[in-house]
Amino acid sequence: MDIDADILTLHRRIGERGDMECLLCPDKGGSIAWLTFHGPDGPVDLLRPATGWALQHGSAVDMGCFPLVPFSNRIAAGRFDFDGRNVALPLNMTGCPHAIHGDGWQAPWSVAERTDSAARLVLRHGGQGWPWRYRAVQDIALDDNGLTVVLDLTNEDDRPMPAGIGLHPYFPKPPGTRLAARVGGVWMNDATLLPVDRADLPEEWRFPDGVVMDRTVLDNGFTGWDGRATLDWPSQGLRLTVTTDGPFGHLVIYAPPGEDYLCVEPVSHMTDAVNRGQEADAGLRVLAPGESLRGTMRLCLSPLRG
């Protein structure tokens, strides 16, 4: 039975070290509003915290993290052909000429289960807009070092469904933040942020060696990711490690100009994958009726060692 909850707080006591706290907003796209470690030196935000305004009036894009189902990033003009069918999706973000981030982020999710430190959020999509029925589940749990999110997408339609999953976390970016991730290449974009050319990593984006993000501006998809990234926060003496299991072989990094956050998004496919069948590593999956796609993201906080 679903539990009626618009806002849900998870809490875990970590011995003498402090407390881990997470606020969920199921009605705002199954999003995480914040994730905070309360330690002896004061609170540390592991995700960009939602403001009071965002909690009252905002959407999933104003939160700390939200799920990407049944696809990630953009589909060109919201149009594609699949299995002999021409599909036209709603353009679902003001100012964007493409369908973006799936539709799970714009729907209320139900709380199916909860404990003090964990919850299961569920979304059932009936086939409006995205013309296949599906079920999405997030299992969100605190542990002694951070958070684990398991995202599961199941085709509940009677036809094969193109599918992808991802997570869209917003991380704090205090001065000196350094991001490292083993990626193989990058897609360069057109003016509407669709990929046009695959390229080797330019010097300023050599994330396998680590990049200080103070002046880095980008919104690109990276290929050949090994499923691990680190964010070093020297001003706080802390490291946040992102690890994944499952189909997350692509990484989107979004660092907008003038903002104190960045996004490091584990995703299962490249941008516009449903229109990129010529790319061997596009990552698009086709789920048979009843088939599922599952991935896990873990966030782990630790001291930064020199």
Beta bridge partners of 153: 136, 293
What is the band of 3 on the pLDDT scale with cuts at 50, 70, 90? low
pLDDT at 144 over 80: yes
Q: Considering the chain, what percentage of its residues have pLDDT values greater than 70?
A: 98
Prediction pTM value: 0.96
* Domains of the chain from N-terminus onward: 8-303 (2.70.98.10)
Task: At 202, give phi and psi (nearest 5°).
Answer: -70, 160
pLDDT at 12 (0 to 100): 95
Compute the distance between CA of residue 213 and CA of residue 112 in angstroms, rounded to an integer.
39
What distances in angstroms separate CA 235 from CA 40, 59, 173, one per listed residue?
A: 16, 30, 11
Cβ partners under 8 Å of residue 75, min gap 6: 89, 98, 99, 100, 272, 274, 275
For the segment 86-140, what is each residue's pLDDT rounded down to a tens digit?
A: 999 999 999 999 999 999 999 999 999 999 999 999 999 999 999 999 999 999 9
pLDDT at 267 over 80: yes
Alpha-carbon radius of gyration of the chain: 19
For the segment 146-184, what is each residue's pLDDT rounded down to a tens digit?
A: 999 999 999 999 999 999 999 999 999 999 999 999 999
Token pair for 43: 């609170």
Task: At 265, give phi and psi (nearest 5°).
Answer: -110, 110
pLDDT at 5 over 80: no
- CB-based contact 63:25 (threshold 8 Å): yes
For the segment 123-136, what is each residue's pLDDT rounded down to a tens digit?
A: 999 999 999 999 99
What is the band of 16 on the pLDDT scale with cuts at 50, 70, 90? confident
Q: Give the position of tokens 């939602």.
A: 50
pLDDT at 17 (0 to 100): 84
Beta bridge partners of 75: 99
What distances in angstroms separate CA 253 from CA 212, 219, 263, 283, 305, one per listed residue?
A: 13, 6, 6, 17, 25
DSSP 77: G
Compute the distance between CA of residue 127 and CA of residue 121 in angstroms, rounded to an integer.
19
State how far Cα 7 lies from the chain centre: 20
What distances in angstroms separate CA 92 from CA 88, 130, 291, one per listed residue?
A: 12, 11, 27
What is the band of 2 on the pLDDT scale with cuts at 50, 70, 90? low
Q: What does pLDDT average to over the chain?
A: 96
DSSP 69: B
Q: What would the mean pLDDT of 19-24 be, rounded to a whole number?
A: 97
DSSP 131: S
More confident: 208 or 306: 208
pLDDT at 1 over 50: no
CA atoms within 13 A of residue 62's CA, in its CB half-sphere: 13
Cα 66–Cα 220–Cα 151 angle in degrees, nearest 5: 30
Compute the distance between CA of residue 21 and CA of residue 285 in angstroms, rounded to an integer.
34
Token pair for 14: 């970590």
**Before 175, cis peptide (omega within 30)?**
no
